[in-house]
A and B are shown apart, each in its own frame.
Chain A
Amino acid sequence: MSLKRRTVLKSGAAMIGTLAAPGLITRAQAAGDTIKIANITDVSGGLDIYGQPQVATMQLAVDEINQKGGLLGKQIDLISYDPQSDLQLYTQFATEAATRERVSAVFGGITSASREAIRPLLRRYQTLYFYPTLYEGGACDRNYFCTGTTPAQTIEKLVPHVMDKFNGKKVYVIAADYNYGWISARWVKHYVESHGGEVVADEYFPLDVTEFGPTIKNIQAAKPDLLYTLLVGGNHMSFFRQWAASGLAGSLPMFSTDFGVGNEHIVLSSEESDGMYAAYAYMQELDTPANMAFLERLNSKFGAGAPYINELASAAYYAIYHWAQAVEKAGTADRMPVIETLEANSVVDGPGGKSTIDPATHHCIQDVHIGVVKDNAFDVLKSFDQLAPTDTAEVCDLIANPDDNTHYTITSRDG
């Protein structure tokens, strides 16, 4: 009799299970002795190319921690939201995660617009926020931590390296037409000039431009020694295709601090992408034991579906570990103790090297690697230890002004 009732109950539960959306089941199972965190990352819509690897590494990090017994004896429950590259859904999901799920931290946001849609909300709802993406720098808020690089961090080393290598003085800059492109281009100019060079022209392209014919003619007319690209997204890849189609591939050394995070070097043919120099806090090709072990864990979790890991994805992985380490040290998942622990020299030794949280800016001091694209992969040439986010540090000092809540537009040292 009792056996029968149990079967009935079981099949009833199974039915409810099949009816409910998968996301809801995991949440129901996880309720109770867990620490909840949320990720709000685009895995559909125009930005999925950036979001999917980030979500994969966050899941990996959470799994790793859970397998080792979790945090403070509790399992971590990662709730995933897909805002579909839509700002309005960012707002809704951030509110839901903070006020309904009462998560202890939110991870996510890809574009600066999406970050600025949710950062003020999470501050208002007193929910810790991690932004795991490289961006133009300048967001200053004690409730917010960024684990990606900012322009000064990578451009500072890349520009002299490439200028010396090719003995080039005249640089042509092409960039995406929004804050990231404009601000990064200004830092390129700053470092080119302080290395005795000159920016001969800069051009900006909205993200939906696919035809670069006129620009390619302009570049040929200007005859620069080097080409710095800050192009972003699938449409902008057309530039490299049209450049190669005009027989110009290899005619001009190129360097960039965002080529590759959108899988450019994989999607483009090797003819179109070979010889691109870039600098990141992480490259999948890094030949270090820590990275090899990380990739092995990733491949055993995702198998053939494992995504290519770029700096954005590794920054997401670091973000989870910074948070988890702070929770463990603080002995609680409450917001203020965790923030204070993160500010007290939080170091994560991960696949890309050491990442240290800078208490003044809440950005990360990181190792930076220069590589060149060869046969659809990066060939790592040189690594630099522990570079600081000096750009954000110019405007943001959370030790002196802990209540600061500004998104500064950094105008570089030259003004």
Chain B
Amino acid sequence: MDYVIVLILQILFSVSSLALVCAGLAVIFGMMRVINLAHGEFIMLGGFTTVFATQAGIPIVVSMLVVAPAIVAVIGFVIERLVVRHLYGRMIDTMLATWGLSLLLIGAATMLFGNSVAGISAPFGSFTVGQYRVSVYEMFIVAVTLVLLIGCYLLLRFTRLGLIARGTMQNSEMAASLGISPSKVYSVTFTAGAALSGLAGALLAPLSGVVPTMGKAYVAKAFITVISGGEAILTGLVSASGLLGSVGTLTTFATTPVVGDAALLFAAIILLRFLPNGITGRFFRRSI
């Protein structure tokens, strides 16, 4: 019985950390049809920011939830202005440019920070389920992800900003003709996506550690999950990470991490074979 509870908690954590890692990418892809291959490096920057901020004496929760997203948002804003802005509508080119960006950021982080930056420990301690100990911090991540998703839903569904965002997403030309500047929307979106990625990196830093190449471990999985989700940002994100995260974790428990990862990827392929436009291309089509 204890084992089942622990198993469920583990799946909850895996799914929410997957959703967290994908959120920034999903927002940018869903709104702008831009695949940001520097996504992993935004996560990395979020991680480094948290570590440095915490070491500078800022309370860890503040550096994770405020400082890291803010700093990465600024970086994202600048990058959007300098690079991405010039490539809208050219999907392949943006992918390549952001790939270049990814290399550049990894190289720069290696030169500036190096590989031996001391990490920070996870706060909050642990609790017991029968004979097992479970980290409170992992449950904190589940909670943050949940709040984040609900927040995004409310924002998109009920605010003027959300209306503009959805409008631009559905038909940017129509939105533009109604007096909304798409370039402003894109700029805000990219910045928000960067902030989300920064937040993900910040929250994962105490569990995974920070090195310049840490983004690589996440980007492929995130990429595939977002595409599997399809066009609706939130529903796609939740359904795809729920499905793929559970498949991966259950298989890992039953076999090995390799088979678990392979199963996750394989599930995505099967899914895309039958739903070539992602989950939300077929189901929940009118959702956000």
Binding site for B on A (CB under 8 A): 44, 46, 48-49, 52, 177, 203-206, 208-211, 213-215, 217-218, 220-221, 234-235, 237-238, 241-242, 244-248, 263, 266-269, 271-272, 308, 376
Contacts and interface: CB of A to CB of B under 8 A. Distances in A.
Contacts of B135: 242, 245-247
B74 interface: no
Nearest to B119: A267
B121 A244 contact: yes
A44 B134 CA distance: 37
26 contacts: A48-B110, A204-B256, A208-B217, A209-B261, A210-B208, A210-B217, A213-B14, A214-B10, A220-B131, A221-B131, A234-B115, A234-B213, A235-B208, A241-B121, A241-B122, A244-B121, A245-B122, A245-B206, A246-B133, A246-B134, A246-B135, A247-B127, A248-B133, A267-B117, A267-B118, A269-B119
B4 to A, nearest CB: 11
B13 A213 contact: yes
B214 interface: yes
B277 interface: no
A214 B8 CA distance: 11
A44 B13 CA distance: 34
Contacts of B49: none
For chain B, give the interface size range.
35 or more
A235 B257 CA distance: 13
Contacts, number: 116
B63 interface: no
A217 B10 contact: yes
Contacts of A241: 119, 121-122, 206-209
B209 A205 contact: no
Contacts of A234: 115, 209, 211, 213-214
A308 B117 CA distance: 13
A153 B10 CA distance: 39
Given A44-B110, A217-B132, A245 B137 contact: yes
A272 B207 CA distance: 11
Contacts of B3: 217, 221
Given A46-B213, A213-B14, A217-B7, 15 more contacts: A210-B214, A211-B17, A215-B257, A217-B3, A218-B253, A221-B132, A234-B211, A237-B209, A241-B208, A244-B121, A247-B125, A247-B127, A266-B118, A267-B118, A268-B118
B231 interface: no
Contacts of A48: 110, 115
B218 to A, nearest CB: 8
B116 A267 contact: yes
B116 A245 contact: no
Given A214-B253, A237-B209, A245 B118 contact: no
Interface in B135-167: 135, 137-138
Given A46-B213, A205-B257, A213-B138, A268 B119 contact: yes
B267 interface: no
B91 interface: no
A269 to B, nearest CB: 5
Contacts of A271: 121
B236 to A, nearest CB: 22
B83 to A, nearest CB: 23
A209 to B, nearest CB: 5
B258 interface: yes
